[in-house]
Chain A
Amino acid sequence: MTPFEVGLIMTGVLLVLVLVGVRVAFAAAFVGLTGLIIIFSMRMGFERGVITALKMAGTVPHSKSVTYSLSVLPTFILIGFLAFYAGLTKQLFDAAKKWLGWMPGGMAVGTVFATAGFAAVSGASVATAAVFARVAIPEMLAVGYSKRLAAAVVAAGGTLASLIPPSAILVIYAILVEQSVGKLLIAGFIPGLYSALIYILIIVGMAAWRGDAPAIKGFTWSDRFASLPGTFPIFAVVAVIFVGLFGIDIGGYQFAATPTEAGALGAFVVLITAFFKGMRGRQLGQALHETAKLTVMIFTLIWGVLVYVRFLGFAGLPDAFRDFIVSLPHDPMLTMILILAAYAVLGMFIDAIGMLVLTLPVVYPAVMALNGGEAVSAADSTLGMSGEACSIWFGILVVKMAELCLITPPIGLNCFVVAGVRPDIPVQEVFRGCIPFFVADIITIGGLLAFPSIITWLPSMM
């Protein structure tokens, strides 16, 4: 048996283990360790092979986790957990309602704005949907919106959280493919707004056509302006991240921050706000506890998969898959679309982070090679993007595919969450309401495919 064949077989074993419900991080580490044992045993005999494999695998958890660029993750996660206590949701929705309620479907449009705003502090799509289900749905129903639309707009709005910075999942992508964390974060911004814009167009169109989303009137300009200060922490977090990553001169002081520093400063701002809003020590403890739990889950997943990747390195599997993808006879763009479609299908069965860490080690090198290599210039590439631009573009698209799956059956978690918060709305109704938003997402993805600069322009300014 060649190392390559071992790589192929063990990858099959990994798929089976994940399918039968072994926790993904450990399934990957198990397969990686077993694969290393087989490969080293073939080289140096069983006994020495086992010991060498154990020692090799044993270096991975520490050396791969203890990496500065990954230290941004807990700060982003903390921002998300603290944001609930900072009372941001209610104030955001309130402001959005007062500014946008006047148009047909205005409350739904406001909800999209508010979820997008909240997404700016929370990387958690599902949690965003849960919170707004409680804040926004009752108000929409009160002015005569249909349950279907009210529920769907909340479920769909939640999916914006992973694109608009800060976003933990974009950090994970950046780390796995060794791309700049800062650039990926910045890259998500415009596609996030663009997604929101397409949602809004769909809502206004439907509201005008179906009439199930009446306009509300009666807010004065002073009402509107009075609603703005409550949204300050949102702008503060976005500003800290943007200004920090781009850098600015404040009266002779150079202010700039790494993603970790920006995340920490953002968390600090939200923490202070939350204390002003009456958060107590016990709740801070709870938020920190939850942050720690989610952090360790993500890190375990990362190093578990990297044990498997270390084994793939010895087996030479990514090289072979790359050669296979590049040798496909059809147009590279078609290959790209097929790969993205495969992600959409995969995303229906496994959550976004798990999907990324399991597939990227093999798929990403192939995608890069398809475009002509990591160092290719835009002029020499097959997709018309430099290697770096392609890597950023692909990252945003993959994350968008994963988000799309949050509103599709069978396990579109956002829809279940909304239905769970509202016992009066059956989940089928939410899924049905999401169909227009699914269409909107397809339009969005088509736009991102056709005009990559929507994604790549802003990070190219850095």
Chain B
Amino acid sequence: AADVTWNVSVWGKRRAFTEHIEYLAEKVAEKTGGKFEIKIAYGEALSKSRENLDGISFGAFEMAQICASYHADKNPTLTVLELPFLGVEDLDAEVKVSEAVYQHPAVKKDLARWNAQVLMPSPMPQYNFIGNGDAPKSPKDFEGMRVRALGGIGNLMSAIGAVPTTVTASETYQAMESGTVRAASFAPHAHLAFKTVEVGTWWTANMNPGTVQCPVVVNTDAYNALPDDFRKALDETVPAAVDHYLATYAKVYDKWWPELEKRNIQQIKFSAEDLAALRAKAAPIYDQWIKDMDAKGIPGQELLDLVHSTLGN
């Protein structure tokens, strides 16, 4: 039997989004001869996704996946990575910028309130829209359109005149079919999972409005209590686990492009001027965010600069 068992709280089924944790569990067990067992509990069996940080804080489980935007006030510093139009080109860049932010003392302090620290990112691609009806030729055509977009992307869509309408993820398909909303913003795997591809006729291929930030966190006490060789096994496996995640996620696109083809979904590309105009709309959102952070005593400008400089070099 194992000397140390860690429970991991995850929502949903096993999928590309959770493959780095699966990989980690397998390799850590291998490296420690089965003495360090990482047990993954899917489907919110251990906690509702929104309450994973709570469970971590009092040690009900040792590891969990969280998404910053599910509860912005629980982890305000991480939401810097969810601001619209940061200019993240691909998942590699997302990993790089995420890891730089995790190292910032303000972020560490933020998560330490939950007795938590980040182990690794679960990089998510840009939340482009799938919609039906007349395809928007420019962002102006979003005016008056009811869209499903949460948090920062929702703010951006309001700024360009769209009408963010709340619909739960699982109801999105039906909401689009019945016209409650005309477009929805998700990562490609979620567009597939929630079947928006079946009711959509267009996809904003290069709008790239932003994404969500979903790291895997661990309970700091449990991490520190690990025997040295176990901790080493864990730490050393993380980079390979992230690589494995990227490789698995790439396969989502193997399904994604043919799916768009097959369903005749028009790929909309906005012009450079249009995109620049969109980015200009995001500027006040950045300012507001920095103001909010200042009010909390968090160096928002510093975090945003860190993001820009990391992506710039």
A-side residues, CB < 8 A to B, are 40, 44, 48, 51-52, 55-56, 59, 63-64, 68-69, 180, 182, 245-249, 254, 256, 258, 310, 313-314, 374-375, 462
A36 to chain B, nearest CB (A): 9
Contact of A56 among B55, B167, B180 (CB under 8 A): B55
B68 to chain A, nearest CB (A): 18
B163 is an interface residue with CB less than 8 A from chain A: no
- In the complex with contacts A59-B51, A59-B55, A313-B41, A254-B60 CB distance below 8 A: no
Contact of A313 among B46, B178, B180 (CB under 8 A): B46
A52–B62 CA distance with the chains assembled, in angstroms: 12
A115 to chain B, nearest CB (A): 31
Contact of B174 among A55, A247, A254, A314 (CB under 8 A): A247
Contact of B179 among A55, A245, A256, A313 (CB under 8 A): A256
Contact of A182 among B7, B48, B174 (CB under 8 A): B174
Contact of A314 among B46, B48, B54, B179 (CB under 8 A): B46
Which residues does chain A contribute within 8 Å of B55, judged by CB atoms?
56, 59
A44 touches B51 (CB 8 A): no
A-B contact pairs, 16 of them (CB 8 A): A48-B59, A52-B58, A56-B47, A56-B55, A63-B50, A63-B51, A180-B171, A182-B171, A247-B178, A256-B174, A256-B175, A256-B178, A256-B180, A258-B167, A310-B45, A462-B174
A258 touches B60 (CB 8 A): no
A59 touches B47 (CB 8 A): yes
Contact of B60 among A52, A68, A182, A249 (CB under 8 A): A52
- In the complex with contacts A51-B58, A246-B178, A256-B178, A310-B171 CB distance below 8 A: no
B59 touches A52 (CB 8 A): yes
A246–B60 CA distance with the chains assembled, in angstroms: 42
Contact of B46 among A44, A52, A310 (CB under 8 A): A310
Contact of A63 among B48, B59, B60, B167 (CB under 8 A): B48
Contact of A247 among B13, B170, B180 (CB under 8 A): B180
B-side residues, CB < 8 A to A, are 7, 13, 41, 45-48, 50-51, 54-55, 58-60, 167-168, 170-171, 174-175, 177-180
Quick one: closest B residue to A57, CB to CB? B60
B177 touches A44 (CB 8 A): no
Which residues does chain A contribute within 8 Å of B167, judged by CB atoms?
258
B171 touches A258 (CB 8 A): yes
A254–B13 CA distance with the chains assembled, in angstroms: 33
Which residues does chain A contribute within 8 Å of B13, judged by CB atoms?
374-375
A40–B5 CA distance with the chains assembled, in angstroms: 12
A204 to chain B, nearest CB (A): 40
A247 touches B171 (CB 8 A): no
Quick one: closest A residue to B166, CB to CB? A68
Quick one: closest B residue to A64, CB to CB? B48
Most chain B beta-carbon neighbours within 10 Å: one of A51, A245, A246, A314? A314
Quick one: closest B residue to A56, CB to CB? B60
A376 to chain B, nearest CB (A): 13
A52–B219 CA distance with the chains assembled, in angstroms: 13
B287 to chain A, nearest CB (A): 32
Quick one: closest A residue to B60, CB to CB? A56
A176–B243 CA distance with the chains assembled, in angstroms: 36
B45 touches A313 (CB 8 A): yes
A249 touches B179 (CB 8 A): yes
A60–B83 CA distance with the chains assembled, in angstroms: 31
A59–B59 CA distance with the chains assembled, in angstroms: 13
A55–B53 CA distance with the chains assembled, in angstroms: 13
Q: Top 9 A-B pairs ranked by shortest CB distance?
A: A247-B178, A254-B179, A256-B178, A313-B45, A55-B58, A56-B60, A63-B48, A256-B180, A63-B51
Most chain A beta-carbon neighbours within 10 Å: one of B47, B48, B167? B48
B237 to chain A, nearest CB (A): 23
A260 to chain B, nearest CB (A): 10
A45 to chain B, nearest CB (A): 12
A78–B76 CA distance with the chains assembled, in angstroms: 40
Most chain A beta-carbon neighbours within 10 Å: one of B13, B54, B170, B180? B180
A56–B54 CA distance with the chains assembled, in angstroms: 8
B170 touches A180 (CB 8 A): yes
A104–B51 CA distance with the chains assembled, in angstroms: 61
Which residues does chain B contribute within 8 Å of A314, judged by CB atoms?
7, 45-46
Which residues does chain A contribute within 8 Å of B175, judged by CB atoms?
256
Quick one: closest B residue to A246, CB to CB? B178
A256–B174 CA distance with the chains assembled, in angstroms: 9
- In the complex with contacts A56-B55, A313-B41, A40-B60 CB distance below 8 A: yes
A129–B178 CA distance with the chains assembled, in angstroms: 36
Which residues does chain B contribute within 8 Å of A374, judged by CB atoms?
13
Which residues does chain B contribute within 8 Å of A182, judged by CB atoms?
171, 174
Quick one: closest A residue to B179, CB to CB? A254
A62 to chain B, nearest CB (A): 9
B45 touches A247 (CB 8 A): no
- 18 extra A-B contacts, CB within 8 A, seeds A256-B174, A310-B46: A40-B60, A48-B59, A52-B58, A55-B58, A56-B47, A56-B55, A64-B48, A180-B174, A245-B174, A246-B178, A248-B178, A254-B180, A256-B178, A256-B180, A310-B47, A313-B41, A313-B45, A313-B46
A136–B175 CA distance with the chains assembled, in angstroms: 42
B179 touches A247 (CB 8 A): yes
B212 to chain A, nearest CB (A): 19
A310–B170 CA distance with the chains assembled, in angstroms: 23
Which residues does chain A contribute within 8 Å of B58, judged by CB atoms?
51-52, 55-56
B44 to chain A, nearest CB (A): 8
Which residues does chain A contribute within 8 Å of B48, judged by CB atoms?
59, 63-64
Contact of A254 among B59, B171, B178 (CB under 8 A): B178
Which residues does chain A contribute within 8 Å of B177, judged by CB atoms?
247
B168 touches A68 (CB 8 A): yes
Quick one: closest A residue to B182, CB to CB? A254
B55 to chain A, nearest CB (A): 7
Contact of B59 among A44, A246, A247, A310 (CB under 8 A): A44
B129 to chain A, nearest CB (A): 18
Which residues does chain B contribute within 8 Å of A256, judged by CB atoms?
174-175, 178-180
A382–B167 CA distance with the chains assembled, in angstroms: 34
Which residues does chain B contribute within 8 Å of A254, judged by CB atoms?
178-180
Quick one: closest B residue to A314, CB to CB? B46
B13 to chain A, nearest CB (A): 8
